[in-house]
């Protein structure tokens, strides 16, 4: 999790270690390199504010009320009183943060990438990198797979031209322009494993940006130049020829699946990586993958499942590849962007989270899907192209052992992940809108109701909120388990409550959620501020204040519901794993008339079940609509 957009627990619980800069960190596009449209747009964006200390402390207490015990809350209030007292540590840290805000483009962004992503040591696969499931495409054989992959590559290159020319239309949220930096971070970049901390390199910023992509087929990697000598991108027809040559020269999965190493725990992978690149050939091959613009995974088959489980299987394929016997070795999970094309029409992507959130990835995918729908052009005579270069690896016995370990670890993780994708077909954004409610808030309140019905309690809930209204902004947390949501879910199935009262409570819960969303996207939520204060203590080498070591703080960051809305034009859905062992990951894409949900949990936790939560969400949405329909407006309180 992400560092979970970062929904991940670890975010708030990050060790208060000293902040050491890695050799390469995700750096914002350097202002000196960029000219024109992008720069003037970026310059016009406001800086991320540091919220007032007292406001955050008060809002923190309010956020704790539905999720901690009374005595825990009392204790936290005492700690906060001490923290905030005049001349106390809180004031000192706040001043430090305000100084930092004056001296940096964004006081949070560099810390955030470190803490939420690069310091996070669990495997990126399942625990951090989201998958994206596209609608099933209309092909079912190798030729169809190659043809579609060729069009997809041409579509991505078309989007890249817009990035290179700085012509991507500026996006808006609530009428305000958004930071566009993430678009410049997702191509030609890659995560590099380290023994204690990872890094990210972005080769788009080098003096000779890469001209190739990597293609992986039957666990074998190839370097494919995607530009002609005159600088024009290869056409879909040319790409088809090249992909065909790649497939013909890798018919058997008879090599060691080196890519599976990228599924390891990061410390383990960091150590293996040092060994791997000691060999010159290996180093060149790894470098070619890291430098490539993106990766295309031409997948082999996945296990047979009943038709109604196809979408869930597709999500598994995008999230982790199904295990070492299937497609998990047909990946390089450190690569920022991997497009995945199966032989049966299953398609999607997986992305490494450090450089960007879902929305820019989805905007790219929307463009690509649109591009692939264009009719085929009439084939023209083609000049011969150089053979794509196979990337070789010399596997020592020690590396072979690491590969076997990685396979085992990946298989345990694949076995553990329970993923359920559903299409809620009864309504989409249309129904909440007709009732003058925010669709996102309506869905989040339904999630609270579903969870409460299953567990008879509320839990710390994370929803990603965009901070892209600010220069280099990433995300903050919308805490969906509000007091108003708790009051509503407790009343909903209470036979002693009248419908009018329930509707009133629902409206209050939805409004409270929307209000929190608005303050989060305007930089006034609590989570990143609290993290900043904690990081500032580490920066100033003072002991971590007690408020950050308290039970309430740990509970507040134990997100049993880790959720995110990732909307798109394409009828797709993003998916990710839970961020705590006893939690759920819930990603949804609300379309006008239906909602796509991807719900995950871990099988090793006996208390959670992805299908049960998905079912409970469907019921909650339906019951909330029924309540609204059965309660005429004039009868509402």
Mind telling me the catalytic residues?
A: 353
Count the neighbouring beta carbons within 10 Å of the beta carbon of residue 508.
Answer: 17
Q: Least distance in Å: CB of 433 to ligand COA? A: 4
Which listed range, 15-23, 155-163, 365-373, 438-446, lies at the site for ligand COA (CB under 6 A)? Answer: 438-446
129 lies in the site for ligand COA, by CB under 6 A = no
With b meaning 16 or more CB within 10 Å and e meaning fewer, what string describes 337-369? bbbbbbbbbbbbbbbbbbbbbbbbbbbbbebbb
Tracing tokens 């750096």 back to the chain, one arrives at 27
Q: Least distance in Å: CB of 474 to ligand COA? A: 8
132 lies in the site for ligand COA, by CB under 6 A = no
Closest residue by Cα to residue 111 from 41, 170, 197, 180: 197
Ramachandran angles phi, psi of 133, nearest 5°: -105, 120
Q: Which of 440, 527, 550, 618 binds ligand COA (CB under 6 A)?
A: 440
- Helix, strand, coil shares of the chain as percentages rounded to 5? 45, 15, 40
357 lies in the site for ligand COA, by CB under 6 A = yes
Q: Which of 214, 282, 317, 438 binds ligand COA (CB under 6 A)?
A: 438
Q: Which of 521, 533, 537, 628 binds ligand COA (CB under 6 A)?
A: 521
Q: Least distance in Å: CB of 360 to ligand COA? A: 9
Residues in CB range of 496: below 8 A, 6 or more apart: none
Give helix 439-455 / helix 483-492 axis angle, nearest 10°.
60
465 lies in the site for ligand COA, by CB under 6 A = yes
Q: Judged by CB, which is closer to ligand COA: 336, or 438?
A: 438
- E-only strand ranges, 405-527: 417-424, 461-466, 475-479
Could you tell me the two tokens for 415?
A: 């076995």
Ramachandran angles phi, psi of 605, nearest 5°: -95, 115
479 lies in the site for ligand COA, by CB under 6 A = no
Q: Give the interface size with ligand COA as a residue count (CB under 6 A).
A: 21
Sites for ligand COA among residues 164-183 (CB under 6 A): 173
Q: Judged by CB, which is closer to ligand COA: 15, or 569?
A: 569
352 lies in the site for ligand COA, by CB under 6 A = no
Please say whether the beta carbons of 79 and 546 come within 8 A: yes
Environment class of 379 (CB within 10 Å of its CB; exposed 0-12, middle 13-18, buried 19+): exposed
Q: Which of 433, 453, 546, 636 binds ligand COA (CB under 6 A)?
A: 433
Give CA 496 to chain center in angstroms.
Answer: 42
Give CA 325 to chain center in angstroms.
Answer: 26
517 lies in the site for ligand COA, by CB under 6 A = yes
600 lies in the site for ligand COA, by CB under 6 A = no
Q: Which of 128, 475, 477, 480 binds ligand COA (CB under 6 A)?
A: 475
Q: Judged by CB, which is closer to ligand COA: 440, or 618?
A: 440
Q: Judged by CB, which is closer to ligand COA: 238, or 438?
A: 438
Closest residue by Cα to residue 458 from 76, 3, 63, 75: 63
Tracing tokens 């399942």 back to the chain, one arrives at 126
Environment class of 88 (CB within 10 Å of its CB; exposed 0-12, middle 13-18, buried 19+): middle
Q: Judged by CB, which is closer to ligand COA: 449, or 465?
A: 465
Q: Least distance in Å: CB of 356 to ligand COA? A: 8
Q: Judged by CB, which is closer to ligand COA: 17, or 173?
A: 173
595 lies in the site for ligand COA, by CB under 6 A = no
For residue 6, is the peptide bond before it cis, meaning its omega torsion is within 30 degrees of 0? yes
Closest residue by Cα to residue 232 from 166, 160, 339: 160
* Strand partners of residue 421: 598
Q: Least distance in Å: CB of 11 to ligand COA? A: 13
Q: Which of 12, 16, 131, 439 binds ligand COA (CB under 6 A)?
A: 439
Q: Judged by CB, which is closer to ligand COA: 242, or 565?
A: 565
185 lies in the site for ligand COA, by CB under 6 A = no
466 lies in the site for ligand COA, by CB under 6 A = yes
Q: Judged by CB, which is closer to ligand COA: 145, or 564?
A: 564
Tell me the DSSP string of 126-181: HHTB-EEEPPPPS--SHHHHHHHHHHHHHHHHHHHHHHHTT-SPPPEETTEE---G
Q: Judged by CB, which is closer to ligand COA: 476, or 618?
A: 476
Please say whether the beta carbons of 323 and 410 come within 8 A: yes
577 lies in the site for ligand COA, by CB under 6 A = no
Please say whether the beta carbons of 335 and 366 come within 8 A: no
Which listed range, 116-124, 241-249, 300-308, 434-442, lies at the site for ligand COA (CB under 6 A)? Answer: 434-442
489 lies in the site for ligand COA, by CB under 6 A = no
Ramachandran angles phi, psi of 599, nearest 5°: -115, 130
Could you tell me the two tokens for 539?
A: 């920066």
Sites for ligand COA among residues 276-335 (CB under 6 A): none
Binding site for ligand COA (CB under 6 A): 5, 173, 357-359, 429, 433, 436-440, 464-466, 475, 517, 521, 564-566
């Amino acid at each position: 999790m992400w560092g979970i957009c970062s929904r991940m627990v670890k975010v708030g619980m990050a060790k208060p270690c000293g902040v050491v800069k890695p050799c390469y960190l995700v750096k914002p596009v350097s202002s000196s390199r960029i000219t024109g449209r992008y720069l003037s747009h970026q310059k016009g964006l406001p800086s991320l504010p540091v919220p007032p200390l007292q406001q955050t402390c008060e809002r923190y207490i309010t956020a704790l009320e539905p999720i901690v015990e009374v005595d825990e809350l009392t204790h936290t209030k005492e700690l906060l009183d001490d923290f905030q007292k005049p001349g106390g540590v809180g004031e000192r840290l706040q001043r430090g943060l305000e100084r930092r805000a004056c001296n940096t483009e964004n006081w949070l962004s560099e810390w955030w990438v470190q803490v939420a992503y690069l310091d996070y040591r669990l495997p990126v696969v399942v625990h951090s990198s989201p998958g994206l499931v596209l609608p099933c495409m209309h092909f079912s054989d190798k030729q169809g797979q190659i043809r579609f992959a060729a069009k997809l590559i041409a579509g991505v290159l078309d989007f890249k031209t817009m990035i290179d020319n700085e012509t991507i239309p500026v996006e808006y949220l609530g009428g305000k322009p958004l930071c566009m930096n993430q678009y410049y971070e997702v191509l030609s970049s890659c995560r590099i494993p380290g023994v204690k901390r990872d890094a990210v390199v972005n080769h788009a910023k080098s003096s000779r940006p890469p001209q190739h992509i990597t293609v992986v087929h039957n666990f074998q990697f190839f370097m494919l130049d995607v530009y002609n000598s005159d600088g024009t991108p290869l056409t879909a027809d040319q790409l088809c020829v090249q992909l065909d040559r790649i497939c013909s020269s890798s018919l058997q999965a008879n090599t060691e699946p080196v890519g599976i190493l990228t599924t390891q725990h990061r410390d383990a992978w960091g150590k293996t990586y040092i060994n791997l690149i000691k060999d010159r050939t290996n180093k060149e091959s790894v470098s070619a993958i890291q430098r490539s613009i993106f990766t295309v995974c031409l997948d082999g088959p996945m296990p047979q499942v009943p038709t109604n489980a196809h979408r869930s299987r597709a999500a598994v394929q995008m999230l982790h590849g199904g295990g070492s016997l299937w497609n998990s070795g047909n990946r390089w999970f450190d690569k920022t962007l991997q497009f995945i094309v199966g032989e049966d029409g299953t398609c999607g992507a997986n992305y490494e989270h450090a450089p960007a959130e879902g929305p820019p990835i989805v905007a790219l995918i929307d463009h690509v899907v649109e591009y692939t729908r264009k009719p085929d052009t009439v084939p023209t005579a083609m000049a011969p192209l150089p053979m794509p270069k196979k990337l070789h690896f010399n596997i020592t016995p020690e590396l072979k052992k690491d590969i076997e370990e990685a396979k085992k670890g990946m298989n345990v993780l694949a076995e553990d992940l329970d993923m359920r994708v559903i299409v809620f077909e009864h309504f989409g954004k249309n129904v909440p809108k007709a009732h003058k409610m925010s669709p996102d808030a309506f869905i989040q309140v339904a999630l609270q109701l579903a969870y409460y019905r299953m567990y008879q309690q509320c839990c710390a809930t994370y929803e990603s909120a965009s901070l892209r209204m600010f220069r280099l902004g990433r995300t903050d947390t919308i805490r969906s388990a509000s007091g108003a949501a708790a009051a509503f879910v407790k009343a909903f199935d209470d036979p002693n409550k009248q419908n009018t009262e329930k509707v009133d409570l629902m409206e209050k819960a939805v409004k409270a959620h929307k209000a929190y969303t608005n303050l989060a996207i305007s930089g006034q939520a609590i989570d990143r501020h609290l993290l900043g204060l904690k990081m500032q203590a580490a920066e100033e080498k003072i002991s971590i204040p007690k408020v950050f070591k308290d039970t309430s703080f740990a509970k507040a960051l134990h997100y049993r519901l880790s959720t995110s809305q990732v909307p798109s034009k394409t009828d797709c859905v993003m998916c990710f794993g839970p961020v705590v062992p006893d939690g759920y990951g819930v990603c949804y894409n609300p379309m006008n008339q239906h909602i796509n949900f991807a719900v995950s949990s871990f099988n090793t936790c006996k208390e959670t079940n992805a299908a049960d939560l998905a079912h409970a969400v469907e019921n909650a949405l339906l019951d909330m609509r029924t309540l609204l329909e059965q309660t005429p407006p004039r009868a509402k309180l």
